[in-house]
Amino acid sequence: MPWVFGDIQLDPERFELTRSGEPVRVEPQVLSLLIHLIRHRHCMVTKDDLAAAVWHGSAVSDASISSRIRSARQAVGDDGVGQRVIRTVHGRGFRFVADVECRGAHCAGAAKSGHSAHEGGRPSIAVLPFTPLRVPQDLHFLCEAIPHEIIEALSRLRWLAVLARGSTFRFHGPQADLDGVAAALSARYVLSGFIESQHHSIAVMLELTDTTSGQLQWADRLVAPIHEIDDLRARIVVDLVSALEIHIPYNEANIAAQNGPEGLDAWANYHLGLRHLYRFTSADTLLAQSFFEHAVMADPSFARAHAGLSFTSFLDAFLRLSPDPAAATRAARRHAEHSLELDALDPFAHFTMGRSYWLTDEPKVAAGWLARATDLNPNYAQGFYASAFTAMLLGDATTTLAGVETSLHLSPLDPLLYGVHGVRAQMLIQQEDYQAAADWADKAATAPGAHHLIAMIALVANGLAGRAAQADRWRRQAVQLRPDASARDYLTAFPTHDAASRVKIAAELHRQGF
């Protein structure tokens, strides 16, 4: 699937350059530079871009870049005077200016309006073998074992296309070219890594790169004693899954927003919907719903978009954003059922189905659906949070605490963090440990996205703990967020089965003016 310009043909999959049908001998780094320039031919490529893509971010001099540009021009029959193929933008970078004929799928979705190529659709990722740095020979197996475990874990994420190891493990070593990987495998993201042994410890460095822009999206470094390698391997998988759940959707939403509303595909609309979903305001929930609806119109079989509509309907009912909570409750169930019909293996579909049963006060039924969500994806932090919420409704303190701790371990910066802390606080209220409940409720109410019901948990916990000033603070916060907030809102949203605590909560809310 080559690119053709003049008598030159460049095949990025085979990593080959021919001229008039004859092979052209060229250094791999020069060929990587050519591939990068062609892939980004609709915009200028800066020297920093080239350093990141071709030299993988290593320090490189202007002279070295100029040398590779000269070699690239020579390989394609160009020179610094004519600049018919590669044009220098003085003081800024370079542009590939020759007319290119695309022959293959990798040419679809070429960059427009100055943005890098981005093909749309479900995000895809290639996990490359890691590179050993001063690692004993008996530990070299980790360079493939850890990426293999990562591939297995990521394959459970229904929103992310994960390339098989049989394809990605062909690319070995620190010089693995990201443009070559992207072109050969059609991978939108590449995860690469290094393993280093030092002073009886093992360090693993991870890097997530967007291949269309060459930009580093996320990096991390994890270290452990050599005798704790197994624990380190498990930590890597957990940390990575949590990071990807945040950084890839965020990047996808940014790209979709930059490209404008025209021609957005189902996945672009879905990611824009996610951007607004976790802001928990009436306006953002409406925007999220609109994006999910556009995703469904673009692809009626898109299970995740239907699950997104179940989520927005849930918020309409749970936060009383809709004037008809009963209709919103029915919609939450209907959209979740449709999502499951389309993809019975998607944890998000099971998550939304389970939460729809909170709205009808059927926590035992909810528990079954949420257990399926975490069975399908053992790294699903929000699934464990929702299971903890359900256990809290039933008064099961042990299961509640276990679910909360697991959720925090899997995703310490989750957009539902306020809910995780709020569940713990509500459970502690039921256990009459009001001081601890107030401490956790304060954390919940100060977390990003906390809505009026969380502020009400905080005022109840602090009120019962005798912290009058803090209770008053949260009372004012609840009223500010929702002027018509009522005790009924609280007791309806949290239909706990512990009658004694409900009486105390109702009395405290009444005392606080609700």
Is residue 116 predicted with pLDDT exceeding 80?
A: no
| CA distances to 10, 24, 91, 135, 302 from 19, in Å | 9, 6, 31, 42, 44
Could you give the CA distance from residue 286 to residue 284 in angstroms, rounded to a whole number? 5
Q: Specify whether the CB–CB gap between 102 and 42 falls below 8 A.
A: no
Q: Specify whether the CB–CB gap between 298 and 269 falls below 8 A.
A: yes
R_g of the chain computed on alpha carbons: 27
Q: Specify whether the CB–CB gap between 188 and 256 falls below 8 A.
A: no
Instruction: Give me the pLDDT at residue 172, please.
Output: 66
User: Which residues are paired to 224 by β-bridges?
Assistant: 202
Q: Specify whether the CB–CB gap between 429 and 464 falls below 8 A.
A: yes
Q: What is the mean pLDDT of residues 434-451?
A: 95
Q: For the chain, what are the domain ranges?
A: 3-107, 124-244, 261-378, 381-514
Instruction: Give me the pLDDT at residue 415, please.
Output: 87
Least confident of 89-98, 131-140, 258-267: 258-267
Is residue 52 predicted with pLDDT exceeding 90?
A: no
Is residue 437 predicted with pLDDT exceeding 90?
A: yes
Instruction: Give me the pLDDT at residue 169, please.
Output: 78
Confidence of residue 261 (pLDDT cuts 50, 70, 90): low
E runs forming strands in 285-420: none
Confidence of residue 174 (pLDDT cuts 50, 70, 90): low
Query: Strand pairing of 189-198 and 201-210?
Result: antiparallel
Q: Specify whether the CB–CB gap between 156 and 376 falls below 8 A.
A: yes
Pick 274 or 90 by higher pLDDT: 274
Instruction: Give me the pLDDT at residue 333, please.
Output: 97
CATH of 261-378, one of 1.25.40.10, 3.40.50.720, 1.10.150.110, 3.30.450.190: 1.25.40.10
Q: What is the mean pLDDT of residues 50-68?
A: 81
Pick 185 or 325 by higher pLDDT: 325
| CA distances to 72, 283, 406 from 103, in Å | 21, 45, 49
Instruction: Give me the pLDDT at residue 134, please.
Output: 82
Q: Which fold has domain 381-514?
A: 1.25.40
Domains 3-107 and 124-244 are alike in CATH topology? no
Q: Specify whether the CB–CB gap between 35 and 1 falls below 8 A.
A: no
Token pair listed for 341:
């019909």
Does pTM top 0.85 for this prediction? Answer: no
Instruction: Give me the pLDDT at residue 101, please.
Output: 81
pLDDT in tens, 301-348: 999 999 999 999 999 999 999 999 999 999 999 999 999 999 999 999
Q: What is the mean pLDDT of residues 181-191?
A: 77
Q: How many CB atoms lie within 10 A of CB 506?
A: 16
Closest CA to 383 of 231, 233, 251, 242: 242
Instruction: Give me the pLDDT at residue 106, please.
Output: 43
Instruction: Give me the pLDDT at residue 180, please.
Output: 66
Mean pLDDT of the chain: 88
Token pair listed for 25:
């001998």
Q: Residues 260, 288, 383, 505: is their CA dihedral positive or negative? A: positive
pLDDT in tens, 117-134: 455 678 889 899 998 888
Could you give the CA distance from residue 415 to residue 373 in angstroms, rounded to a whole number? 18
Confidence of residue 114 (pLDDT cuts 50, 70, 90): very low
Instruction: Give me the pLDDT at residue 178, please.
Output: 66
Residue 298, C-beta contacts closer than 8 angstroms, at least 6 positions apart: 264, 265, 266, 269
Helix axes 499-511, 452-464, angle to 10 degrees: 100
| Percent above pLDDT 90 for the chain | 55
Is residue 183 predicted with pLDDT exceeding 90?
A: no
Is residue 259 predicted with pLDDT exceeding 70?
A: no
Q: Residues 444, 445, 448, 452: is their CA dihedral positive or negative? A: positive
Token pair listed for 79:
């020179």
Instruction: Give me the pLDDT at residue 1, please.
Output: 57
| Percent above pLDDT 70 for the chain | 91
Pick 503 or 157 by higher pLDDT: 503
Least confident of 66-70, 264-268, 293-297, 348-352: 264-268
Q: Which fold has domain 124-244?
A: Rossmann fold (3.40.50)
197 burial (CB, 10 Å; 0-12 / 13-18 / 19+) is: middle
CATH placement of domain 3-107: 1.10.10.10
Phi, psi of 94 (to 5 degrees): -145, 155
pLDDT in tens, 359-411: 999 999 999 999 999 999 998 999 999 999 999 999 999 999 999 999 998 88
Least confident of 96-105, 334-343, 458-467, 480-489: 96-105
Among left, alpha and beta (phi > 0; psi -120 to 50; other), residue 85 is alpha
Please give the DSSP secondary-structure letter assigned to residue 129: P
* Secondary structure (H, E, C), 427-443: HHHHCCCHHHHHHHHHH
Q: What is the mean pLDDT of residues 186-208?
A: 88
- In 3-state terms, what secondary structure has residue 116? coil
Confidence of residue 212 (pLDDT cuts 50, 70, 90): confident
